[in-house]
Structure 1
Amino acid sequence: MNYQAYLNALHLLCATPLQLGAQLSCAALLRLGEMCLSLFTAIGDVVHDRQDPRLSLAYAQLVEIFARRVHREQLAAALDLEVSGANALSLPVLDSIRRGDADFSEEPERTQGKPCYRSAEDLLAAWLHINYFAAAARFSDAHLLVGRRTVQGTVAPPRMPNLARLCEAGATDPQQLISTARKLAKLEPKDLIFEGTQIDLQAEDEDGVLLEERCAQNLASLGPRSARKQISTALSHYISQHSEELPPPRGLFIGPVKLGVHEFKLRTTAAQAQVLHSIIAQASSRRTESGRNAGTSQPGPEPSVPEWLIADAPMPEWAAPYASEDPRPAGAYPEQQPANDAEAEVDPPLRKLNAVMAKLGSRPGAGDSTCITPRVVVYMWLHDLYHLARTHGITSNSVRIPPGELRRILASANIIPIVLGGNSQPLDVGRAKRFHVGAIRTAIMARDRGCIVPDCTTAPDQVEIDHYKRPWAEGGTTSVDSGAAICTDGHHSRHVGQIKIVDVGGLPHVILPKHIDPEQIPRRNTYWDGLQLGDAPDYPGPIEDEPPG
């Protein structure tokens, strides 16, 4: 049999369940499934032997499609066990199924008295040799994304219909779907479908859209990281607005000491959190002296010795031989570092600690460029200034400032409010300067918030501003209109032609490569809440109040 004959036979095999349907016996269905598994395994062995990167990439995509389908079938199979009452099967029937010689021609025999398994969860855990809680999770996930058993023994629609459609389509990471569905279920009333009572979803976003629908939209339209952040923000905001629990007390709490390392716990307001976010983001930058200083194992200059400790008399002769010696052997103490390691790079958590400690140890007005100066920049719409009682602000590090706290911090001279109004772009320095700095950079960041490449998580303080319309070397100007916030990797990708940046309605948008976005739709990153077309709020009615003086 040649290749074409084999291919025709496989097509016939794939179409058999659809064409014959109920005519296929249970044994035939299981046999077809076993053959498909064997074929899939054999194909994988051949692919692994080829070592062709093109084939490997295409096969990885195929395997992912299989895995997502298999994940949903796991949930659907669990639901089938629950609805059919498989836990009540008799012991002889269970034994025959395990041996592979079960007789499917007769009605299944069930235990008349005490069943072998109390529930479908117990059966699945024992049958598949998995943890009980893992088995129980499959049933609860099936109720959210596949269907629910009713008191009549029928199957009702799933609890999360929009997420269920994404699960059925297989276009979204199933783990992210499951995680989102579980979090949403905790915000909803108890599901009473098995008791005969249908309770609709109730959790809504600020605009009245169901949170489940909003989360499904994010998962379908955004990248995984942007979707995760948008969902987390929406759920956290809903919980803060509807939770009956009091917020935990704010403050700095001293924790235990473990092997000489002291532990502290810090709880802050949103505005205080932005100060820390600003320090942390700047500490991650290797382009500034303060950022480079935070990235070494010995941050900052040594503290100066007070004048009252400096002796006027010369050192005694007997002390001179010991002045520069350390009697402790090298490596005797964990905190002792060899001299040549002073400039060694440290891990990100220690960089952040170094920056915070350098700031705490700096003297006001010292003008030390090695210390980071935190900034609190708050973005808000022009209309929000007239209605501070019910609006919130977003900081440059994407920290949400609630209304009450926003009113307080706007009175501080250390807060920089960026008011977003119409489409005008007034800042322009022509060709007097090459780089977008100062107020121009601040205005661009107020518009883009971070790198505009979809799903990029580069911190706003580390992005570059690109002359995306016309390069500086070709006569481009430096203005808000000409610049786009982009990370270093994205900047290089644009220059080598891997991505494109285009102007759409006055906002720079990114066109990703065709293998990532076949539709070639201009997109903007949403991870840092960058402004999108149509984002300006449409408030009905005239503005009656005057802005605060």
Structure 2
Amino acid sequence: METCQLIDALTTTGGEPGHPVSPVDKLRLLAALEWRAAALAAELAAETTSPTQAALLAHTVERAHQRGEITQLRAARAAQRTLVQDLGPESLDEVRSIAADPTAFIAGNRELPADPATVPRGIMPFKDTAGFLEHDLRIPRTLALHRLHAANSLLPGTDVHGNPAGPRYPRLAEALESGAARLGPVSAAARRLDKLAHAIARQPSPGDLAARIEEKVAGSVAAGIPRDTGRLLAGIGDELDQSPDAGQPPSPAEIRERTGIVVTKRTRHYTHFSACMLNADAEVFLSHFAAADNPRTLAGNRQGLAASATGMNPTAGNGAGNSDTKTTEATGNGTGNTGTTTDSTSQAPGPEPGTAMAPPDGPDWFTRPENAESFPDPDPGSPPEPGPDGLTAAQRHLQLLLNLMRAPQGAPPRGTTGLPTAQLVIHCRLETLLGLAKGNGWSANGLQIPIGEIRRRLATDGAIPIVLGGQSEVLDVGREMRLANDTIRRAVLARDGGCFYPGCSVPPEHLEICHIDGWAAGGGTGVAGLTPGCTCHHHMADNGLLQLLIHNGLPHVLLPRHLDPEQIPRRNPYWPQNQTTLF
């Protein structure tokens, strides 16, 4: 009898029609085959001298390993379906003993423990199947969860009515079963597709679209380049989020699934977090971070942030080493919003003159991400440069959050540093807010805010309305005051959004309010004669390298002739404001 005939006879009817082999006998055969296969492979590896035999051995073992991965999924699905976590400690100990030495079990001299006759009571060893895989099979928790997810996504099962159903991702399952792809990349792609399910559901013909996306992803996974697959999935996600059909707000289920802060990795010295939030909440973070980056505010006080930074030595001038000096803890929720800007000569970071312009419909990173990646990974060969305080921008952002969390309740002492107060600024057309036109709002840092979220916040949060195009605002103090007050500053930023220079993306919190007609030349301090600008471009205007002017009721800039020979008045299209005059 041939080997395949022997195995078939042992695992089907045992040679007697109508008398199938019991699952216990099949388990005995599986244990015997596993033991014999390992021994046979070891013998072949030691005895083989032929290169063709060695090649076939390598292919066979590799194929067996790949089939073993699929078998692991089937075993995890069986453990989940039979509620293996309900086994008592005595039964689990007996099963472990048999698995460690199956000789007596294979010979039929040892039996498996009986299944529980009733629903178990008390505290069980494991709370779920993942716990069984983690503690009984010594599989890391994350890998156990991934294995269960892959089993439910890539193996046939049943629907809610108990009818047989195919895999949730049939093309990925086919790539895995045929050997075109390994379990790791296929499982990761299935998890990423699950995250796209809500965005796909908002599109026309979501079933056909999901099938096309899975087909493309399965082909990329089969190509065997994980980075390309990651870029493809990220690009698909960006396209789905930016498509015109994705304008409706996310469902509560999608918000619950995608938003939050989770720990992604822990090492001996570091803990890594991943955060996802709605744009309206992200604007609060960005506003705080921009305040911490501005050294001219109390919140961005470099010495105060460096003194409170964990493990940093403010006198070392670099980002390494533990401090032996006593650090000071923040003691309040102090404000870092100076409210006014000056014609200071201190330099603030900004793009070089002549940078490319963004599309007129919004920030370039928001509407048309290059290569479908909104935020590319930083170059590992180019570590961030620390500032004079020894902290990088990312470290200042982290320290700002820590200071806010550590600050006690109550009014802050005078002069408290490192604790900004954020103000959520949203720009929206009145006809959009009233439902007379379709559209969205935009935050001060260029994040799109759904109109429903704006209406909800207007009803529940404190709001300071600024109406563009009205006639009743008192926003002009003439020659009585050189520096713009808070009211004038908010109105100017509401109209212009950001720096006047085309393509400049310096955050609004870092901008200065510039006189279109210089103060020394008789210019007044009023909204109609002011525009925001970063320090670099403000100085260029003051030095005559740029010319500011009013064109069609809005501030414009004439670039130098070597950049714009036609001398066309321009505005900065990076900021998606209403582009409407205030008066």
Same fold, TM-score > 0.5, yes or no? no
Structure 2 length normalisation: TM-score?
A: 0.42
Greater RCO, 1 or 2 (C-alpha within 8 Å, sep 6+): 2
Structure 1 length normalisation: TM-score?
A: 0.45
